[in-house]
Amino acid sequence: MIRDPETFEALLDSVRRFVRDRLVPAENQVAQTDEIPESIVQEMREMGLFGLTIPEAYGGLELTMEEESRLLFELCKTSPAFRSVIGTTVGIGSQGILMDGTDEQKAYYLPKLATGELSASFALTEPDAGSDAASLRTTAIRGTDSEGDHYIVNGTKRYITNAPHSKIFTLMARTNPADKGAGGVSAFIVDAKTPGISLGKNDQKMGQKGRAHL
Ligand SMILES: Cc1cc2nc3c(=O)[nH]c(=O)nc-3n(C[C@H](O)[C@H](O)[C@H](O)COP(=O)(O)OP(=O)(O)OC[C@H]3O[C@@H](n4cnc5c(N)ncnc54)[C@H](O)[C@@H]3O)c2cc1C
């Protein structure tokens, strides 16, 4: 349901103008440089596009599914790379925190995701775990040392959209090696600066110049 049609139509109009005046003219540059100019990403932040699905209580626009779909129809009238900029934060990167995060995690991360200060990726897929996601091999084993409780994560992910741009990853890893199915898997919020994370090469995908999938 559209809650406030007038406000929503104004938002749609501003996205239409943004696509026509800023994104379409930048398509060639993005295709040639494989980069989206930071000035465009900043405009997306200022329009609130990183917070489409995040509740208003956390600074987002809290669009309904219908509203989000209609807005994305407009945003996708240009290179799909531009939608990818916000795609992982709006969707798989933030929704796990919203659904299953603690109150502290929600209060800390969601406002920063909504403004685009932080952007998020979802790290599930592995070289040998795609459709059958529950077969993932990355492990997160709890250990203790002088620095306190922590998990040691080992594994390789692939096809992680926006990986080089994201500040946090929602990472899926096996915390119970005895359980080979989904029951042995837990989700972690991992800071992208965590020591030991290295990024692979960017996969070249048709129509996706300008956004990385590692
Ligand atoms: C553009 C892009 C962005 C992505 N972004 C992300 C991301 O941000 N984060 C992330 O974690 N992952 C991401 N992925 C990965 C995506 O989720 C996986 O590609 C998907 O889960 C499929 O896995 P796979 O590629 O290993 O294919 P496979 O699982 O190996 O499947 C290959 C083929 O086999 C078929 N198949 C598989 N299992 C069966 C079965 N049991 N019965 C019959 N047929 C079967 C499939 O339909 C498919 O045709 C992205 C992928 C793409 C292409």
Cα 116 to averaged position of ligand 1 atoms, centre (Å): 27
pLDDT tens-place values along the chain, 214 residues long: 467 889 999 999 999 999 999 999 999 999 999 899 999 999 999 999 999 999 999 999 999 999 999 999 999 999 999 999 999 999 998 999 999 999 999 999 999 999 999 999 999 999 999 999 999 999 999 887 665 688 999 999 999 999 999 999 999 999 999 999 999 999 999 999 999 999 998 877 777 787 776 7
Q: Tell how far the Cα of 6 is from the centroid of ligand 1, in angstroms.
A: 39
Looking at the chain, the domain(s) classified CATH 2.40.110.10 span 120-191
CATH 2.40.110.10 fits 120-191, yes or no: yes
Cβ atoms within 10 Å, residue 195: 5
pTM above 0.85, yes or no: yes
Q: State residue 145's pLDDT score.
A: 67
At 147 the pLDDT is 59
CA distance 107 to 67: 24
pLDDT at res. 173: 97
What residues does CATH 1.10.540.10 cover in the chain? 5-115
Q: Is the CB of 89 under 6 A from ligand 1?
A: no
Task: Looking at the structure, give the CATH architecture of the domain made up of residues 5-115.
Answer: Orthogonal Bundle (1.10)
Candidates 1, 161, 183; CA nearest to 85 is 161
Residue closest by Cα to atom 45 of ligand 1: 131
Q: Is 131 in the pocket of ligand 1 (CB under 6 A)?
A: yes
Contact 170, 122 (CB under 8 A): yes
What per-residue confidence (pLDDT) applies to 2? 62
Q: Which residue has the least CA distance to atom 7 on ligand 1?
A: 160
CB 166 less than 6 A from any atom of ligand 1: no
What letter would DSSP give residue 127?
T
The CB of 83 under 6 Å from ligand 1? The reply is no
